[in-house]
């Protein structure tokens, strides 16, 4: 998995687990909770590194807001993209997409892709 996928998957699992209207079977729920726990530290590290890149490039304006000067936007984006494309050693447990008996939006499905697979008919 790429760092960007780690971050996206973790954020999606957080969003889904916070939705009290969604219910999961025991196996699916357990796998999601286990993957979320596995991803937490790595996602925080990636988030911190991205923040560090932004802070290093940014300057504070009069309202104490961090602004990235136009002259540094391309370089900052390049560094963030490089960080997101780096390979992560995190391995997540997979879930058969057919076992998800949920109505998820496209954004959530896309975020879960690194941990989904589809069984081929026998």
Query: For position 34, what pLDDT does the model report?
Result: 95
| Rounded-to-integer distance, Cα 14 and Cα 19, Å | 9
**pLDDT (tens digit, 9 = 90+) per residue, 73-82?**
999 999 999 9
Check: CB of residue 16 under 8 Å from CB of residue 70.
no
Average pLDDT, the chain: 91
Rg of the chain (C-alpha set): 18
Angle, helix 3-18 to helix 26-57, in steps of 10 degrees: 120
Residue-range domain boundaries for the chain:
3-117
Residue 119 has pLDDT above 90, yes or no: no
Residue 14 has pLDDT above 80, yes or no: yes
**pLDDT (tens digit, 9 = 90+) per residue, 57-110?**
999 888 989 999 999 999 999 999 999 999 999 999 999 888 877 778 889 889
- Residue 55 pLDDT level (bands cut at 50, 70, 90): very high
pTM of the complete model: 0.84
- Residue 121 pLDDT level (bands cut at 50, 70, 90): low
């Amino acid at each position: 998995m790429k760092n960007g996928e780690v971050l996206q998957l973790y954020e999606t699992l957080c969003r889904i687990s916070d939705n009290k209207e969604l219910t999961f079977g025991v196996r699916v729920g357990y796998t999601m909770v286990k993957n979320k726990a596995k991803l937490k530290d790595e996602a925080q590290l990636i988030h911190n590194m991205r923040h560090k890149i932004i802070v290093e490039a940014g300057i504070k304006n009069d309202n104490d807001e961090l602004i990235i000067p136009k002259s540094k936007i391309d370089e900052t984006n390049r560094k963030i993209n490089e960080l997101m494309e780096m390979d992560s050693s995190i391995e997540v447990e997979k879930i058969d997409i057919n076992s998800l008996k949920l109505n998820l939006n496209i954004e959530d499905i896309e975020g879960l892709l690194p941990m989904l697979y589809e069984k081929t008919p026998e």
